[in-house]
Amino acid sequence: MVEYNFKKITVVPNGKAFIDIILSRTQRTTPTVVHKGYAISRLRQFYMRKVKYTQSNFHDKLQKIIDDFPRLGDIHPFYGDLLHVLYNKDHYKLALGQVNTAKNLISKISQDYVKLLKYGDSLYRCKSLKVAALGRMCTVIKRIGPSLAYLEQVRQHMARLPSIDPNNRTILICGYPNVGKSSFMNKITRADVDVQSYAFTTKSLFVGHTDYKYLRYQVIDTPGILDRPFEDRNIIEMCSITALAHLRAAILFFLDLSGSCGYSIVQQAALFHSIKELFSNKPLIIVCNKTDLQPLEGLNEGDKKLVMEMKSEASKSQGGEAASADDFLLTMSTLTEEGVMAVKNAACERLLDQRVEKKMKSKKMNDCLNRFHVAMPKPRDQKERPACIPQAVLEAKALEAAQKEGRKTEKDIENENGGAGVYSASLRKHHILANEEWKEDILPEFLDGHNVYDFVDPDILLRLEELEREEGVRQAEAEDGDEDFEMDGEDLTPEEREALQAIKKKKILLIQEHRIKKSTAESRPTVPRKFDKERKFTSERMGRQLSSLGIDPSRAIERARSRSVSRKGRKRERSVDRDGEDGMEIDGGSSNKKLRLRSMSRSRSVSRPFGEVVPGEGFRDSAQKMKAITMARNASKKRNKDARRGEADRVIPTLRPKHLFSGKRSIGKTDRR
């Protein structure tokens, strides 16, 4: 069944918008740059391409519009009529026709201009031709602008039409305005139709769906119909008329007994009679609504007669079937919801019967019926032949049934003893063992980090004996072997061990010292020996070290002391002074006073006298040293006078070292460092 859904129609653009779209597309997707220096064929091709491209775009779009809009002759007459009612068939066809013409015109334009372009001799001429072609195409579209606008309107409205399947089971609700059709609709389906107190609240068809006997039924709510001649009807009423005319549906004609819709029963009856031709061949039910306001029995005579008349008409039109009289006239009240379901069921039932009947009559049904055939063999005589079951099987079945009830399962036992968490079944209950007592034995699974089951063996005692024998043998051998081994070399004596340890310690120290010495002066401070704060280089120390090596240190200490500077130097000075003046006056020279002041014990607390020769400087005697000093002074006198930079003056070797003057600052300036 084709679902009539007009939502898939392409959007029809406005005339102007249409032109814009196509032209901008042309501009975007075809090449845009061309110079008059190009070869003429290239120029022609360039412009021809543009014209053809534009034409093909127009063609495609217009073709799509024409294809998408439904052709009124091809669709179901219900929709055809509905569309006609809504949009005027002629206007619709004309519009589409115009679109088609436009499409053809544009094709022709393009052909003509392409032919002309083939012989264009300059850039300017080709360009003008292209401009003309495109311009004419656009004019064509501009001319059909109103049609396009109309088609767009139609499309928008069509998209909102309810999707009614004309071939599906349908129930149609009709009657005067305000009788309660929409409220009934709301009751039986999930549709949410507007219900108001003014007439013509429902302005178009509405579809809802309801179920009955596992089948889906469409329920169509129509706008109210007034009793008027056919020609005078407006579009809204025409919608309902169309629906009534074309859809094969069950019809529920609504009557308002109370007259609260604003129309009397007389008027409603009149309407009924005027449209009763539309009800032919359709199951019809007359529904009296609003019984809460006015029950059927409470009607006055005239109205009642009218209603009965309608009922008889209805039954007549149904061909006088065996259906009960009640099927044609039902009462209900949508407000109190009494009788609503009854009405729905009656309508559905009637419709279903009718449809089934029709199907049965058609040829297709016969094929279906053939499939549901149970073949029964033709009885050849009157003898009864029931099913034959052997006795044993019957007995066994009976026994099994009895057993099932009588047997006690493990699960039952479990439940008796407290349930799943409390009772744990003994898995060894049915084990076959040599001694029944062993069934409940508890035994460990591991022992001392070994799995007991890895050792279980009926012959384990034998094996153990063998193993122990082996072990004994092995141990004996091992002892013998041990004795041989001991012969190789004696152990060290305790003194030897001590000596060895001392050697090791000494070696470690040596290595450490070497490592320290190995590091260059850059990474370690080098303090010359004369500034020996730790007093590492004393004669006592030397004495101690020598004695630890096993040598008597006294002679060495003597010798060291005798050669020490303080002693030696002093002795010499004294003897020189005593002999007499040497003629050399030493600056700041040593006077007797100074000599006396200096005692042996304070030999080191006073600094050396000026001209004293320090062994290691390289002077023969103090006279030579003084001479050297004088020479040095004289040499630098001139320079000092000239105020030139001397050796003692502070020198900055590099005024702008790179490492201080390079690099950026994250914040701040770098004009000074």
| Structural tokens at position 600 | 């042996």
Site string for another protein, 63-92 (x = CB under 8 A): ------------------------------
**Contact with another protein (CB under 8 A): which of 438, 567, 588, 657?**
438
**Contact with another protein (CB under 8 A): which of 74, 297, 448, 647?**
448
C-beta of 538: minimal distance to another protein in Å?
Answer: 20
- For position 427 contacting another protein by CB under 8 A, the verdict is no
- For position 124 contacting another protein by CB under 8 A, the verdict is no
C-beta of 433: minimal distance to another protein in Å?
Answer: 6
Site string for another protein, 461-500 (x = CB under 8 A): x-xx--xx--x--x---x------x--xxxxx--xx--xx
**Contact with another protein (CB under 8 A): which of 423, 446, 537, 661?**
446
Give dist(CA 92, CA 533) in Å, integer: 120
Give dist(CA 179, CA 515) in Å, integer: 116
Question: Which window, 77-85, 264-272, 447-455, 640-648, contacts another protein (CB under 8 A)?
Answer: 447-455
C-beta of 603: minimal distance to another protein in Å?
Answer: 31
Angle at alpha carbon of residue 603, lines to 593 and 555, rounded to 5°: 135
> How crowded is residue 109: how many other Cβ atoms within 10 Å of its Cβ?
22
Give dist(CA 146, CA 149) in Å, integer: 5
Question: Which window, 123-131, 330-338, 355-363, 452-460, contacts another protein (CB under 8 A)?
Answer: 452-460
Question: Which window, 56-64, 428-436, 591-599, 635-643, contacts another protein (CB under 8 A)?
Answer: 428-436
**Contact with another protein (CB under 8 A): which of 24, 451, 624, 640?**
451
**Contact with another protein (CB under 8 A): which of 400, 412, 457, 513?**
457
- For position 455 contacting another protein by CB under 8 A, the verdict is yes
434-442 — which CB contacts under 8 Å span 24+ positions? none
C-beta of 459: minimal distance to another protein in Å?
Answer: 9
Q: Taking Cα atoms as reference points, which of 567, 557, 564 lies closest to residue 598?
A: 567
Q: Which residues of 420-450 are buried (b: 16+ CB within 10 A; e: fewer)?
A: eeeeeeeeeeeeeeeeeeeeeeeeeeeeeee
Q: Taking Cα atoms as reference points, which of 384, 386, 356 lies closest to residue 369?
A: 356
- For position 443 contacting another protein by CB under 8 A, the verdict is yes
Who contacts 325 (Cβ-Cβ below 8 Å, separation ≥6)?
311, 315
Nearer to another protein, 323 or 556 (CB): 556
| Structural tokens at position 177 | 């305005």
C-beta of 562: minimal distance to another protein in Å?
Answer: 22
From residue 312, how far is each of 57, 105, 330, 522 by CA, in Å?
A: 64, 62, 13, 130
| Structural tokens at position 2 | 């084709």
**Contact with another protein (CB under 8 A): which of 40, 413, 502, 606?**
502
Nearer to another protein, 395 or 471 (CB): 471
Who contacts 254 (Cβ-Cβ below 8 Å, separation ≥6)?
173, 174, 175, 176, 179, 180, 181, 184, 287, 289
C-beta of 499: minimal distance to another protein in Å?
Answer: 6
Q: Taking Cα atoms as reference points, which of 18, 45, 20, 55 lies closest to residue 134?
A: 55
**Contact with another protein (CB under 8 A): which of 90, 453, 643, 666?**
453
Give dist(CA 129, CA 135) in Å, integer: 10
**Contact with another protein (CB under 8 A): which of 203, 228, 431, 563?**
431
| Structural tokens at position 329 | 């006239």
Query: Binding to another protein (CB under 8 A): which residues in 507-526?
Result: 507, 510
Nearer to another protein, 429 or 638 (CB): 429
Question: Which window, 74-82, 195-203, 260-268, 504-512, contacts another protein (CB under 8 A)?
Answer: 504-512
Query: Binding to another protein (CB under 8 A): which residues in 281-310?
Result: none
Nearer to another protein, 11 or 502 (CB): 502
604: helix, strand or coil: coil
**Contact with another protein (CB under 8 A): which of 213, 373, 450, 596?**
450
Query: Binding to another protein (CB under 8 A): which residues in 532-571?
Result: 546, 548-551
What single letter denotes the amino acid at residue 596? R
C-beta of 472: minimal distance to another protein in Å?
Answer: 10
- For position 503 contacting another protein by CB under 8 A, the verdict is yes
Give dist(CA 100, CA 65) in Å, integer: 9
- For position 434 contacting another protein by CB under 8 A, the verdict is yes
Contact 661, 673 (CB under 8 A): yes
C-beta of 375: minimal distance to another protein in Å?
Answer: 54
- For position 608 contacting another protein by CB under 8 A, the verdict is no
The arrangement of strands across the sheet holding 250-256 comes to 206-212, 215-221, 170-175, 250-256, 284-289, 329-331
Locate all alpha helices (DSSP H) within 250-339, ordered by sequence: 265-274, 301-317
DSSP H or E stretch at residue 568? helix 565-579
Question: Which window, 121-129, 299-307, 354-362, 432-440, contacts another protein (CB under 8 A)?
Answer: 432-440
Give dist(CA 409, CA 75) in Å, integer: 71
With CB under 8 A as the rule, give the number of residues binding another protein.
Answer: 53
202: helix, strand or coil: coil
> How crowded is residue 538: how many other Cβ atoms within 10 Å of its Cβ?
12
Give dist(CA 175, CA 162) in Å, integer: 20
Nearer to another protein, 74 or 486 (CB): 486
Question: Which window, 194-202, 395-403, 438-446, 521-529, contacts another protein (CB under 8 A)?
Answer: 438-446
**Contact with another protein (CB under 8 A): which of 356, 360, 394, 460?**
460
C-beta of 558: minimal distance to another protein in Å?
Answer: 17
Nearer to another protein, 35 or 450 (CB): 450
To which residue do tokens 């370690």 refer?
524
263: helix, strand or coil: coil
- For position 442 contacting another protein by CB under 8 A, the verdict is no
- For position 581 contacting another protein by CB under 8 A, the verdict is no
Is the sign of the CA dihedral 445, 451, 456, 462 positive or negative?
negative
139: helix, strand or coil: helix
| Structural tokens at position 673 | 């460092």
**Contact with another protein (CB under 8 A): which of 447, 584, 597, 628?**
447
C-beta of 572: minimal distance to another protein in Å?
Answer: 34
**Contact with another protein (CB under 8 A): which of 390, 419, 458, 583?**
458
For residue 297, with 0-12 CB atoms within 10 Å meaning exposed, 13-18 middle and 19 or more buried, which class applies? Answer: exposed
Give dist(CA 566, CA 602) in Å, integer: 10
Nearer to another protein, 416 or 496 (CB): 496
Locate all alpha helices (DSSP H) within 375-459, ordered by sequence: 391-406, 410-416
Nearer to another protein, 63 or 548 (CB): 548
418: helix, strand or coil: coil
Nearer to another protein, 481 or 525 (CB): 481
Nearer to another protein, 558 or 649 (CB): 558
Give dist(CA 356, CA 282) in Å, integer: 13
Please give the residue ranges that form the binding site for another protein (CB under 8 A).
Answer: 428, 431-435, 438, 441, 443-458, 460-461, 463-464, 467-468, 471, 474, 478, 485, 488-492, 495-496, 499-500, 502-503, 506-507, 510, 546, 548-551
